[in-house]
């Protein structure tokens, strides 16, 4: 294999995937959702480069993909062809009812709306729940997975004021409530809550004591002013905001030759 | 030791039934569950027949993540209330268009819950208790947007939890790979959440791709996921246009045609394409064979898995 591809700069989605990958620790439990190219790539990148003891769930199987030269992508979570790497099945009701294994789990969620404390909404937009202006997909497994896993990241593919709002119309996944580092323990919620919000412009985390969303780094070519202008609430902005760390040559090589051969992350 | 005289062994009844027998258990207003998961393993022969018979006011329990089989039932006007944490087709339709259109117009009642609450409710029904406790969801909008879900103090330790009410199902319909004639159902793959639906239902009828011998089932009893289906329905290609693990993958062109038809109604109030879809694929074919003839052999054979 040539290394010529590496001369192409990392795409925004490759950078987002690398941010997620670098947060993961060997031995953790992660799932590869379907039709979510960025978290999928992040999980597999961590697993293939430095997390050989991670448990990776693909299509409701405990999958052994470590030595696969190319990990084929599947569009649908129900695709039986994605079950070829199974060492075990996760029968779906067991997966959702048995929670102890999720203490080592890390989860990735999308959202229609996210507020300054990382509370998020997948239900819909509007004030009357029985007659929404926009009916969303529903909570799926997100309400539970954002509580029972050790932490989660919110990943959105557009950074704008419609998504990053002062107040969500509904909260389907609890973040830090109305703020404070004890917001979750006060309610008896075991997981560590949201850690990062990763967007096409930047990475945000949560200030330690208030748990208000804070700008952590901006992607190449993005200014702090642009992030502020496109966020619907007041972000905590430190005096110096670094650029998001880029993938190494090795990480880009693994992404392009083993994980994302079809180039989903390189599409505009 | 005396030998058993075969004339003294009572005859065990076959549970193989036809569609009319299965559907005879349904009436308007019942709670009916449809198994499978997003784009796989839905009992579509039964779904089409429910629409054809113009059943009304059903409470429909989908899977933990339903596909467009529930969307179709909603679009066809069968559903009064829907219980499912997701209705859609992933990349083919992020949100089911019929579900979205009906919810935004206030035409259906949505029993809002997430997957864990869904299984807690099924488990309560299976255990014959009024509710199951669950932790996740405390602090969220769920108890407000679904008043059936109650916040309560656990009497043992005083923790704040949610009470998820039992989801009792009158009749469940599932789709699986094989069964013997006695209702011992086996899947290829894991069978998604179908076991939990079966456990919460008074009656369960299962469409299968193939009926096999009891000896075949006894080769691997651990694979028997549903050990007592009340009826087995022969259903070659019975999950079409959705996948049936071990037999065929989903028919994406067909699913996209449905999405386009239902979206015309949901987005533009144009009922025409949806009516045409229902006419062509549900009302006109007299039976499942006529439906498959309409789909066509070349399409069906193109859905081989590998």
CB-nearest to B106 from A131, A143, A146 is A131
A182 Cβ contact list (under 8 Å, min separation 6) = none
Alpha-carbon distances, residue A85 vs A65, A88, A94, B158, B246 (angstroms): 6, 9, 20, 44, 15
Alpha-carbon distances, residue B275 vs B81, B163, B258 (angstroms): 22, 41, 11
Q: Is the pLDDT of residue B305 over 70?
A: no
Judged by CB atoms closer than 8 Å, whether chains meet at B84 and A81 is answered as: no
| Min Cα–Cα distance to chain B from A79, Å | 7
Residue B27's domain spans which residues?
16-112+168-298
Closest chain A CA to residue B85? A140
| Min Cα–Cα distance to chain A from B194, Å | 8
Q: Are residues B136 and B222 both part of a single domain?
A: no
Judged by CB atoms closer than 8 Å, whether chains meet at A80 and B245 is answered as: yes
Judged by CB atoms closer than 8 Å, whether chains meet at A188 and B135 is answered as: yes
pLDDT, one tens digit per residue, over B66-117 is: 999 999 999 999 999 999 999 999 999 999 999 999 999 999 999 999 999 9
Asked if B179 and B206 count as a contact pair (C-beta separation under 8 A), the reply is yes
Asked if B106 and A131 count as a contact pair (C-beta separation under 8 A), the reply is yes
Give the position of tokens 């898995």.
Answer: B305
Note the pLDDT of residue A1.
Answer: 40
CB-nearest to A35 from B90, B100, B110 is B90
Closest chain A CA to residue B249? A79
Give the span between the Cα atoms of A58 and A43, in whole angstroms.
Answer: 11
Residue A135 phi/psi, 5-degree rounding, is -85, 120
Fold category of A4-266 in CATH: Glutaconate Coenzyme A-transferase (3.40.1080)
pLDDT, one tens digit per residue, over A51-80 is: 999 999 999 999 999 989 999 988 899 988
Q: Are residues B135 and B284 both part of a single domain?
A: no
What are the sequence ranges of the domains in chain A?
4-266
Q: For the whole model, what pTM was predicted?
A: 0.96
DSSP reduced 3-state for B162:
strand
Closest chain B CA to residue A80? B245
Asked if A134 and A125 count as a contact pair (C-beta separation under 8 A), the reply is yes
| Min Cα–Cα distance to chain A from B144, Å | 9
Q: Are residues B98 and B197 both part of a single domain?
A: yes
Q: Is the pLDDT of residue B266 over 90?
A: yes
| Min Cα–Cα distance to chain A from B87, Å | 7
| Min Cα–Cα distance to chain B from A130, Å | 6
Q: Are residues B247 and B182 both part of a single domain?
A: yes
Judged by CB atoms closer than 8 Å, whether chains meet at A135 and B112 is answered as: no
Number of H helices, E strands in chain B: 12, 14
B270 touches chain A (CB under 8 A): no
Closest chain A CA to residue B245? A80
Judged by CB atoms closer than 8 Å, whether chains meet at A187 and B86 is answered as: no
Closest chain B CA to residue A139? B114
Alpha-carbon distances, residue B265 vs A79, B41, B80, B259 (angstroms): 29, 26, 18, 10
In B142-171, the residues whose Cβ lies within 8 Å of chain A are 142, 144-145, 159-161
Give the span between the Cα atoms of B171 and B30, in whole angstroms.
Answer: 8
Alpha-carbon distances, residue B158 vs A187, A264, B143 (angstroms): 12, 49, 19
B99 touches chain A (CB under 8 A): yes
Closest chain B CA to residue A170? B141
Burial B145-161 (b: 16+ CB within 10 A, else e): bbebbeeeeeeeeeeeb
Q: Is the pLDDT of residue A131 over 90?
A: no
Q: Are residues B161 and B172 both part of a single domain?
A: no
Domain annotation covers residue B262: yes
- Residue B306: pLDDT band (50, 70, 90) is low
Q: Are residues B92 and B228 both part of a single domain?
A: yes
CB-nearest to B196 from A93, A134, A173 is A93
B289 touches chain A (CB under 8 A): no
Judged by CB atoms closer than 8 Å, whether chains meet at A76 and B113 is answered as: no
Domain annotation covers residue B45: yes
In which element (H, E) is residue A250 found? helix A249-254
**CA neighbor of B277 nearest in space, from B100, B79, B38, B76:** B76
**CA neighbor of B136 nearest in space, from A152, A232, A224:** A152
pLDDT, one tens digit per residue, over A193-250 is: 999 999 999 999 999 999 999 999 999 999 999 999 999 999 999 999 999 999 999 9
Domain annotation covers residue B122: no
Give the position of tokens 């700008």.
Answer: A215
B279 touches chain A (CB under 8 A): no
Q: Are residues B186 and B287 both part of a single domain?
A: yes
Closest chain B CA to residue A184? B139
Give the span between the Cα atoms of B271 and B265, in whole angstroms.
Answer: 5
Burial A160-182 (b: 16+ CB within 10 A, else e): eeebbbeebbbbbbbbbbebeee
- Angle (nearest 5°) at CA B239 between B16 and B65: 115
Note the pLDDT of residue A3.
Answer: 44
Domain annotation covers residue B117: no
B154 Rama class: left (phi>0) / alpha (psi -120 to 50) / beta:
beta
Domain annotation covers residue B10: no
**CA neighbor of B212 nearest in space, from B240, B192, B237, B183:** B183
Q: Are residues B225 and B145 both part of a single domain?
A: no
Give the position of tokens 């394409």.
Answer: B273
Give the position of tokens 């916040």.
Answer: B151
Q: Are residues B153 and B229 both part of a single domain?
A: no
For chain B, the domain total comes to 2
Q: Is the pLDDT of residue B272 over 70?
A: yes
Judged by CB atoms closer than 8 Å, whether chains meet at A34 and B189 is answered as: no
Tally C-beta pairs within 8 A across A and B. Answer: 172
Domain annotation covers residue B1: no
B123 touches chain A (CB under 8 A): yes
Per the prediction, chain A carries an average pLDDT of 94
B10 touches chain A (CB under 8 A): no
Give the span between the Cα atoms of A85 and A122, in whole angstroms.
Answer: 31
Q: CATH code at B261?
A: 3.40.1080.10
Q: Are residues B78 and B142 both part of a single domain?
A: no
B293 Cβ contact list (under 8 Å, min separation 6) = B285
Give the position of tokens 């294994």.
Answer: A101
Q: Are residues B97 and B198 both part of a single domain?
A: yes
- For β-strands B131-134 and B160-165, DSSP reports them as antiparallel
Judged by CB atoms closer than 8 Å, whether chains meet at B84 and A76 is answered as: no
Judged by CB atoms closer than 8 Å, whether chains meet at A189 and B84 is answered as: no
Burial B196-224 (b: 16+ CB within 10 A, else e): bbbbbbebbbbbbbebbeeeebeeeeeeb
Note the pLDDT of residue A7.
Answer: 60
Q: Which residues does residue B182 pair with via DSSP β-bridges, in sequence order? A: none
Q: Is the pLDDT of residue B52 over 90?
A: yes
Percent of chain A with pLDDT over 70: 97
Q: Is the pLDDT of residue B287 over 60?
A: yes
- Average pLDDT for residues B268-280, to the nearest whole number? 97
Write out the two tokens for A122. 């997948």
Per the prediction, chain B carries an average pLDDT of 96
Note the pLDDT of residue A74.
Answer: 87
Task: Give Dmax over CA atoms of chain A in angstroms.
Answer: 57
| Min Cα–Cα distance to chain B from A82, Å | 11
Q: Are residues B23 and B161 both part of a single domain?
A: no
Give the span between the Cα atoms of B99 and A136, in whole angstroms.
Answer: 10
- Angle (nearest 5°) at CA B298 between B297 and B301: 80
């Amino acid at each position: 294999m040539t290394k010529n591809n590496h001369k192409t700069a990392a795409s925004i989605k490759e950078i987002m995937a690398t941010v997620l990958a670098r947060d993961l620790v060997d031995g953790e439990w992660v799932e590869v959702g379907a039709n979510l190219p960025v978290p999928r790539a992040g999980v597999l990148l961590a697993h293939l480069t430095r997390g050989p003891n991670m448990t990776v769930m693909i299509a409701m199987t405990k999958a052994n993909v470590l030595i696969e030269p190319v990990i084929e992508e599947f569009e649908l979570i129900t695709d039986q062809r994605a079950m070829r790497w199974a060492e075990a099945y996760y029968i779906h009701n067991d997966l959702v009812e048995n929670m102890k294994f999720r203490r080592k789990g890390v989860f990735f969620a999308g959202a229609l709306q996210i507020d300054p404390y990382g509370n998020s909404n997948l239900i819909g937009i509007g004030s009357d729940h029985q007659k929404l202006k926009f009916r969303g997909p529903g909570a799926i497994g997100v309400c539970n997975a954002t509580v029972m896993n050790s932490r989660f990241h919110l990943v959105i593919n557009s950074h704008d004021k419609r998504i990053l709002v002062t107040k969500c119309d509904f909260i389907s996944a609890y973040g830090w409530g109305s703020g404070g580092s004890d917001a979750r323990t006060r309610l008896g919620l075991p997981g560590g809550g949201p850690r990062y919000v990763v967007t096409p412009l930047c990475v945000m985390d949560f200030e330690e004591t208030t748990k208000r969303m804070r700008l952590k780094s901006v992607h190449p070519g993005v200014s702090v002013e642009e992030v502020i202008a496109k966020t619907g609430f007041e972000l905590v902005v430190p005096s110096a905001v670094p650029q998001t760390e880029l993938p190494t040559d090795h990480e880009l090589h693994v992404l392009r030759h083993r994980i994302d051969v079809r180039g989903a992350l390189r599409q505009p | 030791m005396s030998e058993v005289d075969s004339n003294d062994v009572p005859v065990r009844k076959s549970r193989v039934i036809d569609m009319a027998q299965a559907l005879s258990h349904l009436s308007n207003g019942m709670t009916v569950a449809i198994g499978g998961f997003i784009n796989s393993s839905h009992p579509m022969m039964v779904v089409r027949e429910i629409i054809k018979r113009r059943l009304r006011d059903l409470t429909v329990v989908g899977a933990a993540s339903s596909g467009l089989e529930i969307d179709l039932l909603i679009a066809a006007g069968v559903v009064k209330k829907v219980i499912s944490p997701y209705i859609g087709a992933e990349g083919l339709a992020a949100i089911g268009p019929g579900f979205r259109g009906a919810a935004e117009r206030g035409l259906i009642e949505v029993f809002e819950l997430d997957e864990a609450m869904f299984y807690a409710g099924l488990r309560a029904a299976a255990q014959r208790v009024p509710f199951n406790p669950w932790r996740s969801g405390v602090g969220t909008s769920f108890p407000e947007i679904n008043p059936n879900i109650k916040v309560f103090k656990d009497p043992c330790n005083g923790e704040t939890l949610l009470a998820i009410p039992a989801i009792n199902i009158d009749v469940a319909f599932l789709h699986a790979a094989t069964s013997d004639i006695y209702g011992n159902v086996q899947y290829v793959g894991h069978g998604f959440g179908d076991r939990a639906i079966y456990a919460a239902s008074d009656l369960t009828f299962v469409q299968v791709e193939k009926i096999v011998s009891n000896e075949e089932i006894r080769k691997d009893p651990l694979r028997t996921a549903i050990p007592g289906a009340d009826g087995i329905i022969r259903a070659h290609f019975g999950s079409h246009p959705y996948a049936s693990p071990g037999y065929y993958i989903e028919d994406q062109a067909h699913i996209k045609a449905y999405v386009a038809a239902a979206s015309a109604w949901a987005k533009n109030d144009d009922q025409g394409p949806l009516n045409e879809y229902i006419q062509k694929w549900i009302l006109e074919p007299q039976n499942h064979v006529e439906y498959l003839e309409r789909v066509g052999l070349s399409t069906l054979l193109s859905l081989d898995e590998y």
